[in-house]
Amino acid sequence: MPDHPLILRNGGLVNGISLAVPQKRHGEPQSANQKLQLTAKQKRSLREWTIFCLQSDRKTQQYFAWDRGRFRGYSSPHGGHNRWSKIKHDKAKADARTSKARTLMSHELMTASRLGGPDPALNPRLAAAIANAKKSQMVKLAIEYAIAKGQGKTPGGQALEPVTIEAMLPHGVATMIECLTDNKARTLSDIRMIVNRAGGTITPTAFLFEKKGRISFQEQDKIGVDEALEEAIDAGALDISSEDGKLVVETPPTDVMEVAQRLQDRFGLRIEKAEVVYDPNEDALVTLTEEQEEEVGKVLDTLEEDPALQNLYVNATSQ
C-alpha cells in the first residue's frame, strides 16, 4: 500500500475499477461529500481502500483512495479540512446540548400533562411548559406527542404500554430503562441494539435497586423539612429531605400519589414530580473514573434520544 493518498481524476482506476461519477442534470457534478456508489463485487475488490470525494468543480472531479490502516494518520494539506473538523466538532457539542434540553422539556411536558391534565387552559404548569418549548423552537408535533404521552397515549389516541428493560452497561453499571411505547417489540429491539453496540447486555438487574415512590415539591420559605415532617409521616412517607431547593419525600411505591395530594392540600405545595423510581442499593453502587463516566454517559445519552424512553436509572457514582 502507498504511504500517501492516491489523487485520481474522474475516470481513474483503482484495482481496475473506474472512478467515473454519474453526472446530474445540466452537467453539474455530484456533491464533493457524496460517497461513490459501488456494487458488492467492487466493494470486495476495494476492501483495503476508503474512497470518497476530495474536491470538485464544474469540469472535473478528484478523489483519493486511502489505505484504511493508515487513514487516521493522514493530515490533509488543504487548510479548510482542519477548520471543518473543528466546526463539525463544535456543532456536535451544540447539537448534544440542544438534544438534552429538548429531552428535559419533553419530560416536563409529560409530567405537567400527567399531573394536571392535557388542557393548558386548565393546567397553568402545562401552559408554561408549552410556552418554553415553543420559545426553544420545539416542533408542534413533538409538543403534542409529549402531552399525549403524559396521558399514556399517542396524539391519535392509541394507548401506550409501559416497558421496563434491565441491562448491564460497560464497567459493571446496572441500569433500569423505563419506556412508554405503542410497539413493545420495536422498542425492545431498539434498546437492545443500543446496549449491545455499547458492549453491554440485556440481563436482570432489578435486584440491585429498590423500588420506591418519590415526590418533589417546590420548597417554600415557611414550609421546610421540619414543618412538613409530621404530616408526611402521618400520610405514610418513609423519608423527607431538602435537595437543591426542593422538598423530596420518599414513599412506598403504591402510596406516592396519595401522599403527594395530601401534602399539597395541607401546605399548598407545588408538585414538581410524583413518580415511582428505582433507587440503587448502597452496597451495589459502582464507582467510575472520569474516563469511564464519560464512556457510560455517551451510552446513556444515546438511550435518552429514543422517543419511547421515560426514565433511566443507574447504580453508578463518580469518584
Asked if residue 34 is part of any domain, the answer here is yes
CATH number for the domain harbouring residue 302: 3.30.70.980
Residue 194, φ and ψ in degrees, nearest 5: -65, -45
One domain for residues 256 and 319: yes
Look at the alpha carbons of 68, 72, 74, 80 in this order and tell me if their dihedral is positive or negative.
positive
What total number of domains does the chain contain? 3
Asked whether residue 120 is domain-assigned, the answer is yes
* Pair 212, 238: CB distance under 8 Å: yes
Which of these three, 73, 107, 131, is where a domain ends? 73
Q: What is the pLDDT of residues 151-165, one digit of tens each?
A: 888 878 788 888 999
Helix (H) or strand (E) run with residue 54 in it: strand 49-56
Q: Collapse the DSSP code of 312 into the 3-class scheme (helix H, G, I; strand E, B; otherwise coil) and give the result.
A: strand
Together in a domain, 145 and 166: no
In a domain, 80, yes or no: no
- Give pLDDT tens digits for 243-265: 888 889 999 999 998 999 899 88
Same domain, 257 and 291: yes
User: Over 70: is that where the pLDDT of 14 sits?
Assistant: no
Are 172 and 315 within one domain?
yes
218 domain residue, yes or no? yes
Same-domain status, 291 and 168:
yes
pLDDT class for 87, splitting at 50, 70, 90? very low
Q: Output the nine-digit C-alpha cell for 49.
A: 481502500
Lowest mean pLDDT among 26-30, 93-97, 178-182, 291-295: 26-30
In a domain, residue 295? The reply is yes
pLDDT tens-digit map of 180-205: 898 999 999 999 999 999 999 999 99
Give the sign of the dihedral formed by CA 110, CA 113, CA 114, CA 116: positive
Q: Which residue has the higher pLDDT, 141 or 56?
A: 141
Domain membership of residue 311 (yes or no) is: yes
Helix (H) or strand (E) holding 230: helix 225-235
- Please check whether residues 102 and 224 belong to one and the same domain: no
* Residue 252: alpha-carbon gap to chain centroid: 29
Cα–Cα distance for residue pair 71/23, rounded to 1 Å: 28
Distances (CA, A) of 96 to 86, 287, 301: 15, 25, 9
Residues 146 and 166 in one domain: no
Q: What angle do CA 89, 91, 94 make, to 5 degrees?
A: 115
Q: Which of 150, 177, 197 finishes a domain?
A: 150
List residues bridging with 133 in a β-sheet: none
- Residue where a domain terminates, one of 46, 73, 100: 73
Look at residue 12 and tell me if it is in a domain: yes
Is position 257 within any domain? Answer: yes
Are both 143 and 268 inside the same structural domain? no
Q: Is 15 in contact with 46 (CB distance < 8 Å)?
A: yes
pLDDT at 43: 46
The domain in which residue 24 lies consists of: 6-73
Please check whether residue 249 is in contact with residue 214, taking contact to mean a CB–CB distance below 8 angstroms: yes
Q: Are residues 237 and 167 in the same domain?
A: yes
Strand order in 270-280's β-sheet?
239-243, 246-251, 209-218, 270-280
23 and 61 housed in the same domain: yes
**For residue 112, what is the enclosing H or E element?**
helix 79-116
Q: Return the CATH number at 145.
A: 1.10.10.200
Give me 233's grid cell: 409521616
CA–CA distance, 246 with 232 (Å, rounded to integer): 15
Are residue 36 and residue 124 in the same domain, yes or no?
A: no
Domain co-membership, 192 together with 246? yes
Share of the chain above pLDDT 90, in %: 32
CA angle at residue 251 from 172 to 260, to 5 degrees? Answer: 125
Q: What are phi and psi of 99, to 5 degrees?
A: -60, -40
Confidence check: pLDDT of 15 > 90: no
Q: Say what the pTM is.
A: 0.59
Which grid cell sits at 94? 451544540
